[in-house]
Amino acid sequence: MLGRRKAQQEAAQILEAAKAEGDRPISDEEVLRCLQLWGFKENENRGNVMPEGATFVHSDTVGLIKMSTCEKTLLTVGTKRYPEFTMLITTWLRNRMPEEIKQDFGYTSININKNYAGRLHRDGNNAGPSLIKAFGDFRGGELNYWPSDNKKLPLEEFEESQKVTLDIKSNLMLFDGNRGHYVNAFQGERYSLVFFSLRTWNKVPKEDIEEALRCGVPVPTVPQMKAMQQLLGPSGEAGYRTWPRESSSAALNPTTADATSTTPRRKRSCPEDSVNVDPGSHGNNHAEPATAFSTAKHPRREITLAEIAGAKVVVVEDED
Ligand SMILES: [Fe+2]
């Protein structure tokens, strides 16, 4: 697909320029430029988020996906074929990863959405902790989120008074994808990136973990996932975090102070959105992109043979 090739070329040039400029951070504008070039598929499989009357949405997943037909979780062809596009996005996040979650936030997948306001839903195939950010020139488009959702209440019974409405154009937001959320209507051009882990995040073949890491996708370890799931409290303000754009600079220089979240430090698409599965661990000796991620607190460990037993690498052709 031509658009994808163009996005890939642009991403490669940006990454090269950033490297030549002393590993400067990737900007929001550079991410947006590549998203604008990316050729989106008409995804008809996301019925749970589709606005009323829509038959498809522009929603793609890069990184790992769970196959609908079996228990295999594999790297998407989109990521294999266009690694720099994925790398640009993962580098952007690494550059602005808040100190508070830097050691622990891993993910298997990135959901990329274009120009639709997802209706109220809970993510079907998401282990929970997710980072979201919107890009583009638009008005509206805030994320509504129910931080106290018990994950059981029927969506029709949700009370608007229980939601929080957050500007994810200016803020990077951490939330639990398993709690109800929807996007406000908007005018203009809007893209969003959701960094999350599939429920099968601990059932990924070792080869695919390593390949994902080469694209900068930091598949979480068991302790990392546990820490992130515990960080998000079950209700209220503990159920999410937001970090304004400015705080990203703290992540760029290890000697600067912690990025400060706007919520107090407290107690501390997959295409198959309806598939349910569960949470792994991986090696320490990965290629370079990964080393920037995991460190002291919860070092990554080598995945064991038992953990990957039964998992086989299968090439999945998605329609790109
Ligand atoms: Fe969602």
- For residue range 178-220, what is the model confidence (pLDDT) as tens digits? 999 999 999 999 999 999 999 989 988 888 888 889 889 999 9
C-alpha distances (whole Å) from 317 to each of 21, 24, 127, 176 are 36, 34, 24, 30
Give this prediction's pTM.
0.77
Orientation angle between helical segments 28-37 and 83-95, nearest 10 degrees: 160
Encoding tokens for residue 234?
């079950």
**187 CA → ligand 1 middle, Å:** 20
**228 CA → ligand 1 middle, Å:** 18
Give residue 2's pLDDT: 67
CB 198 within 8 A of CB 126: yes
**176 CA → ligand 1 middle, Å:** 9
**249 CA → ligand 1 middle, Å:** 27
**122 CA → ligand 1 middle, Å:** 6
Give residue 308's pLDDT: 32
66 pairs with which residues across the strands?
73
Give residue 246's pLDDT: 64
Reduced to 3 states, what is the DSSP secondary structure of residue 61?
Answer: strand
Give residue 258's pLDDT: 39
Give residue 266's pLDDT: 35
CB 232 within 8 A of CB 239: yes
Reduced to 3 states, what is the DSSP secondary structure of residue 177?
Answer: coil
Give residue 162's pLDDT: 96
Which residue carries 């890939």 as its tokens?
Answer: 8
Encoding tokens for residue 150?
């018990």
**181 CA → ligand 1 middle, Å:** 6
C-alpha distances (whole Å) from 222 to each of 214, 286, 299 are 20, 16, 10
Weakly modelled stretches of the chain, pLDDT under 70: 1-2, 68, 70-71, 246-320
Give residue 1's pLDDT: 61
